[in-house]
Chain A
Amino acid sequence: MKFGRKMGLKMQGHHHLVAVSLNEQQLGTKRKYTSYIPRTNQGKYLVLWIIVFGFAAIYVYRCIDAGHQQRIQEGLVSMCDQRARMLQDQFSVCVNHVHALAVLVSTFHYYKNPSVIDQDTFAEYTARTAFERPLLSGVAYAQRVMNSEREDFEGQHGGTIRTMANKEPSPHRDEYAPVIFSQETVSYLNLLDMMSGEEDRENILRARSTGKAVLTSPFKLLGSHHLGVVLTIPVYKSKLPPNASVRDRIEATAGYLGGAFDVESLVENLLGQLAGNQEIIVKVYDVTNTSDPLIMYGRQTQEGDQTRVHVSKLDFGDPYRKHQMTCGYLHKAPISWTATTTACLGYVIVILAGYMFYTGAIHIVQVEDDFHTMQQLKVRAEAADVAKSQFLATVSHEIRTPMNGILGMLALLLDTDLSSTQRDYAQTAQACGRALITLINEVLDRAKIEAGKLELEAVPFDLRSILDDVLSLFSEKSRNKGIELAVLVSDKVPQIVMGDSGRFRQVITNLVGNSVKFTEQGHIFVQVHLAEHCKAVQDAKLDTCMNGISKGPQSKTLSGREAADDRNNWDKFKHLIADEEFPFQVVTSDGNSQSVNLMVSVEDTGIGIPLHAQELVFMPFMQADSSTSRHYGGTGIGLSISKCLVELMGGQISFVSRPQIGSTFSFTAKFKRCEKNTIADPKRSLYDDLPTSFKGLKATVVDTKPVRAAVTRYHLKRLGVLVEVVNSIKTAVSASCSCLGQPDMILVEKDVWLSGDDLNSIQVSGHVLKPPKIILLATNVTGCEFDKAKAAGFSDTLIMKPLRASMVAACLQQVLGTGKAEQGKVMANGSVYLRGLLRGRKILVVDDNRVNRRVAAGALKKFGAEVECADSGKAALDLLQIPHGFDACFMDIQMPEMDGFEATRRIRMMESKINEQQTGGPMDSRTTSEWHLPILAMTADVIQATFEECQKSGMDGYVSKPFQEENLYQEVAKFFESKPKPVTVS
């Protein structure tokens, strides 16, 4: 919006309104777009992204690693527990066996009398059952010997009781426990007093009081360096009841069975059998004293993985002693590669994605910025374009005024006595000025089209008469140049079509004007056909062309000269004009379709368009090359306007051109079919008033060129004349009696006549009744030729080309003496038409200024209108009370009291009131059409704003004041061409 305002302010006056509204529109559409991309700090977002996902990656790593660690821990626990259980099992197996030995000793040594066990038996037995006690290095049995019994015992066993420490004879004690039976592996224990060892003594005392197997704390075993524990089981003399007291037990004690567990080697042995031995460090502790655990197996040093240790309880069957096993991994747990790689890879991917977003965002922002810049530039460019058009329109208008002065002065200057040089200069200047005015008008037109101000109207009009008009404009020039100018409209084209006649005329005028400008000899031929028809013929023709039947193009075109578009020659043409028995399939849009697609082509035999310039033809201000404009004049804007107009009419324009041969421009245009009912009496209003008095007459056309003959036939047919075409005058004479009966007239082309055919034959054979009238057709005739023609018998008349139905009619009238004489000469300019349009019209001129009023009235009267004047808006309203007889009203805008706009508004209100009443009420003859008086504003300054104001208040158009003929004509033509002439006026 800001931009729009700025641009708007730069312009001035009403122009900026246009620009602003344009910009608002532009920006309005632009605003709908919103961006979801952060416009700044993308870097910060990227860092944030990286950090957040860094944490995420660490979290993921933790999760995966925790699982891994747990598996490792579980592995450790299971290994440790397995080891502990095995150790415990083996231990208890040994203990049980030692128990069994104790039972054996008690059974066979004490219950049997005499004893059946001696040292040898015991030794052998234990040796043979040693495999049952893998954990025990050996077993021995010590007997309880009281001090009193020592001598008996020593005597019986033949030795003294010795201490364990130094194997000396034991000093006196209350009690001894000498070994009497021992396994061979521990035979050195024989007669050693077990009570002498501190550990053993304690063990013995505890064992006999509890009656269960007890263990010592670990200590260095005798005869080995290994740590070990001693197991002691009491042997009783008699069976004890289960609830025997400690005293009873001590009393009943007979001896003690003991065995040494070599824990170290045993555990070593055990672990060796298990898998995963290398990875794990196992330690066994005696934790009876919790504060000072005694190690039983394993090194005391701290090694291996201290972080992950599992402790398993060991129960060796002695409730007094507590043992435990500690396991740890030898090596630190390996890093979890899965976790590391997963986390790292994920993180890398996320970083890359982040970077992609980052660059993407930067790119998008950049593109958006570019887009906005472009949009602004676009708006600016469009505003500039509008400004340009406005500027052109304004400046053109401003230039026109002084240019008129210049032209007027030049005209005056030319009327004075001038030397030939001066006259030449002045004429040149005048020609230049005229060219400039034309250019300015064209630029104005183009600016209007570009500004989109040009809207096509849809009024019914007669295509053929418009073409005749256009041709008549150029008849002078073509005659001077001696070129053949002709028009032909296919019979299939409806008489009346709906469309913008003015613009259609403009296009045709432009194309024909160009052709006339660039053609020095030959012909210019305008054709109008139905587009579908044309296409069908073209397609069909293409097939026959393939067959290779291609005669020379001579004599196949209008003037016989070769034309650019071969396909347009007689071969095809004859099919186009053959209205009956049409041999090709045509998809015609008959009554059902509402639109008429016309194909108009303008063929000339001019200089053609150079190949290199053909692409530029429709660009404004482009001519083939700069020398062209120097030689022929013109700006080349006409074709571009024509193109715009044709496109507005829903068609396309194209051309075929061959240098030095000619060009054929053709365009299509869409018109609406005119419904018969919409116009009360179309024949009266729209048909150029062709007399009908020639209906049924017969004519023979003598022409060697079929195309030209077809054109003549077309014009005569429009007058209702039956036509026969023959090749020569002789045939005309001979055929005159045949098919059609005697012709009323014979039309002879000049070149046929000059080629030597004699007219006398007609005169001679001119027999029955009245002889046919002989008419000469010519493009140009020199004086002497004219005399010669007169002498030769063309006394009747000479029709100068280009042919137009109305002109032919006038000539025929003259020749045949039918009807009233044409009033006035046949003039080929606007004022004649203006006269035709305004004749008999009743027109109201409203102006408060007497002089203005008089001038306007004078101008309109000159063109045959009946003029009434009113000097104020109020007076006009009084005069225009319905019903009134006015056909149009010219209204000054600036008047005191009631200005032109206000007056018009009131008139329109009046009309609509009446119209409403009429639609409700009964229909009478006058109410078939609604009241709508054409009101034209008269204004001194013709600017856009005023025009819009005019339309707003219900005016139909405006004319510039003072009146200019063409301007007046254009505006007036809009209404009177499309409206029937009032019945009341005769």
Chain B
Amino acid sequence: MAAVSQLQRQFVDYTTSLYNEEYLDDQFTQLQKLQDESNPDFVVEVVSLFFEDSEKLLNNLATALQQTSVDYKQVDSHVHQFKGSSSSIGAKRVTNVCVHFRNFCEEKNLDGCLRCLQQVKHEYILVRTKLEALFRLEQQILQAGGSVPVME
């Protein structure tokens, strides 16, 4: 049981740090609340949806920005999608970068867009790593027979 409680504490600390470093926000908590017995893998499901979408969107964005004449409208709609899904899961830093990204799109600033693409990629990979780590921790807790602490 000691191991479980240690794991739980680790989980709480880790989650807290994620919130503190603004990788995640309140929306992620809401998401966790939606998960219950009838829907036990809800968070993981949604987050993996997000991962899939994001990979696709990042690819699309990279190709779109490599074109000789960049279709900013297209880019903007991609970023909008990205922003929507990231805010839905509460990946705050990604959302924030998306906001900047859209501004550059509006200005049709290619340099800015490319810079933002790098940033957003970076942030995305970061949050993915963090979330994967979080899920691993959760799995460990569950395997150890404990329950995942509920974050209020």
A and B interact physically: yes
A residues with CB within 8 A of B: 404-405, 407-409, 411-417, 847-852, 854-855, 858-859, 861-862, 894, 896, 940, 961-964
Would you call A404 and B12 a contact (CB within 8 A)? no
- A855 engages B89 (CB within 8 Å): yes
| A963, B29: Cα distance in complex, Å | 12
Interface of A, secondary structure class, is helix
- Residues of B contacting A: mostly: helix
Binding site for A on B (CB under 8 A): 9, 12-13, 15-16, 19-20, 25-27, 29-31, 34, 36, 38-39, 42, 45-46, 49-50, 53, 77, 80-81, 84-85, 87-90, 149, 151-152
What residues on B are CB-neighbors of A858 within 8 Å?
31, 34, 39, 42, 46
Q: Is the CB of A855 within 8 A of B46?
A: yes
The residue on B at minimum CB distance from A849 is: B84
- CB atoms of A861 and B39 under 8 A apart: yes
Q: Is the CB of B19 within 8 A of A862?
A: no
**Contact yes or no, B26 A851, CB < 8 A:** no
Give Cα A851–Cα B15 distance, bound, in whole angstroms: 21
In the complex formed, the residue of B with least CB distance to A410 is: B152
Complex CA distance for A415 and B20, rounded to whole angstroms: 14
Whether the Cβ atoms of B12 and A849 lie closer than 8 Å is: no
Q: Could you write out 20 A-B pairs with CB less than 8 Å apart?
A: A407-B26, A408-B26, A409-B20, A411-B29, A411-B151, A412-B16, A412-B151, A415-B151, A416-B12, A416-B13, A847-B84, A849-B88, A851-B46, A851-B50, A851-B53, A854-B49, A855-B89, A861-B39, A962-B87, A962-B90
Residue of B19, B45, B80 near A894 (CB, 8 A) is B80
How far is the CB of B72 from the nearest CB of chain A, in Å?
Answer: 15
- Additional A-B contact list (15), CB under 8 Å, known A413-B16, A416-B13, A894-B80: A412-B15, A412-B19, A414-B152, A415-B151, A417-B9, A848-B81, A849-B84, A851-B85, A851-B88, A851-B89, A859-B34, A862-B36, A940-B84, A961-B88, A964-B30
Minimum Cβ distance to chain A for residue B107 (Å):
20
Q: With CB as the reference atom, state the residue of chain B lying closest to A412.
A: B16
Please tell me if the beta carbons of A408 and B29 are within 8 angstroms of each other in the complex: yes
Interface Cβ pair total, 8 Å cutoff: 84
In the bound complex, residues from chain B placing their C-beta under 8 Å from that of A940 are 84, 87
CA of A858 to CA of B50, assembled, Å: 14
Query: B46: which A residues are within 8 A, CB to CB?
Result: 851, 854-855, 858
Please, which residues of chain A bring their CB within 8 A of the CB of B87? Answer: 940, 961-962
Residue among A413, A415, A894 facing the most chain B CB atoms (10 A cut-off): A415
B118 to chain A, nearest CB (A): 22
Q: For A964, what are the chain B residues with a Cβ–Cβ distance below 8 Å?
A: 30
Name the residue on B nearest A861 (C-beta).
Answer: B39
The residues of B that contact A848 with a CB separation of less than 8 Å are 81
Determine the distance from Cα of A412 to Cα of B90 in the docked complex, in whole angstroms: 15
CB atoms of A896 and B77 under 8 A apart: yes
Q: In whole Å, how far is B18's beta carbon from the nearest beta carbon of chain A?
A: 10
B88 contacts A852, CB within 8 Å?
yes
> What is the bound-complex CA distance between A848 and B27, given in angstroms?
19
Q: Given the known inter-chain contacts A849-B81, A851-B50, A896-B77, please indicate yes or no for A412 contacting B152, CB distance below 8 A.
A: yes
Contact B27 A962 (CB under 8 A): yes
Contact yes or no, B31 A855, CB < 8 A = yes
B9: chain A residues at CB < 8 Å are 417
Of B34, B53, B90, which contacts A862 at CB under 8 A? Answer: B34
Contacts of A405 in B (CB 8 A): 25-26
- How many angstroms from the CA of A894 to the CA of B84 in the assembled complex? 10
Q: A862: which B residues are within 8 A, CB to CB?
A: 34, 36, 39
Q: A411-B151, A413-B16, A415-B12 are in contact. Are A855 and B88 (CB under 8 A)?
A: yes
For residue B64, give the distance in angstroms from its CB to the closest CB of chain A.
14
Closest 10 CB pairs of A and B: A851-B85, A411-B152, A408-B26, A849-B84, A858-B34, A852-B88, A855-B88, A851-B50, A851-B88, A962-B27
Q: Across the interface, name the chain A residue whose C-beta is closest to B45.
A: A854
Residues of A with C-beta under 8 A to B85? 849-852
Q: Are B12 and A852 in contact (CB under 8 A)?
A: no
Which of A405, A416, A851, A861 has the largest count of B CB atoms less than 10 A from its CB?
Answer: A851
Contacts of A408 in B (CB 8 A): 19, 25-26, 29
The CA of A771 and the CA of B45, in the complex, are separated in Å by: 56
Residues of B within 8 A of A963 (CB): 30
Once the chains bind, are A415 and B149 in contact (CB under 8 Å)?
yes
Residues from chain A with a CB closer than 8 A to the CB of B39 are 858, 861-862
A407 contact set on B, CB distance < 8 A: 26
For B80, give the chain A residue with the smallest CB separation. A894
- Report Cα–Cα, A412/B77, bound state, in Å: 35
Once the chains are docked, how many angstroms separate the CA of A854 from the CA of B50? 10
Residue of A nearest to B15 (CB): A412
Residues of A within 8 A of B50 (CB): 851
